[in-house]
């Protein structure tokens, strides 16, 4: 059975030593959704939210968040990301804004946390910009859907 890597033998939190690992190309993709009232989604799609373009602001927030992940999650390594892509799409059939974030680098540790952070902060930004009209929005199903690189290889969510 796999063991936790961020806890030492005495139970103390540690940042994993990746110094001896080989640098490889690493990618990760995460997804999530913000579920809302149909009227709220219509406002987003029509550009009627007073705070501005919800999708554009949330996209930028997600990109910025990926770059700041080690400032937010204590044991994450600071990484030199080579690419971050955040896409937000509206799904009127589900009254949802769907978010997908992908991160890439060549390095010694993965970028899963950066992709998950990008999705989470983009979703929080959608909520923040629309909460005046819909406090019942739900952030749902934030998850890793793809990871590649490193000794553990490729992961694809089923």
Which residues are part of the catalytic machinery?
A: 128
Nearest alpha carbon to residue 156 among 30, 25, 22, 2: 30
HSE-up of 77 (CA within 13 Å, CB side)?
Answer: 16
What DSSP element (H or E) covers 41? helix 38-46
Task: Give the residue from 118, 108, 119 showing the smallest Cα distance to 25.
Answer: 108
- Cβ-proximal residues to 60 (8 Å cutoff; 6+ apart), any chain: none
Torsion of CA 81, 146, 64, 133, to 10 degrees: 180
Q: Strand 155-156's sheet: what is its strand order? A: 83-91, 96-107, 24-35, 138-148, 155-156
């Amino acid at each position: 059975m796999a063991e936790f890597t961020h806890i030492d033998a005495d139970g103390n939190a540690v940042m994993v030593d990746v110094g001896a690992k080989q640098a490889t190309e690493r990618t990760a993709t995460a997804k999530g959704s913000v579920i809302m009232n149909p009227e709220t989604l219509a406002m987003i799609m029509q550009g009627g939210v007073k705070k501005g373009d919800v999708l554009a602001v949330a996209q930028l927030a997600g990109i910025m968040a990926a770059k700041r992940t080690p400032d937010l999650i204590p044991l994450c390594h600071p990484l030199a990301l080579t690419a971050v892509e955040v896409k937000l799409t509206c799904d009127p059939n589900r009254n949802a804004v769907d978010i997908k974030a992908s991160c890439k680098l060549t390095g010694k540790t993965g970028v899963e946390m950066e992709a998950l952070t990008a999705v989470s902060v983009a979703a929080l930004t959608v909520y923040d910009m629309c909460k005046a009209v819909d406090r019942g929005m739900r952030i749902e199903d934030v998850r890793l859907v793809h990871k590649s690189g490193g000794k553990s290889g490729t992961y694809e969510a089923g």
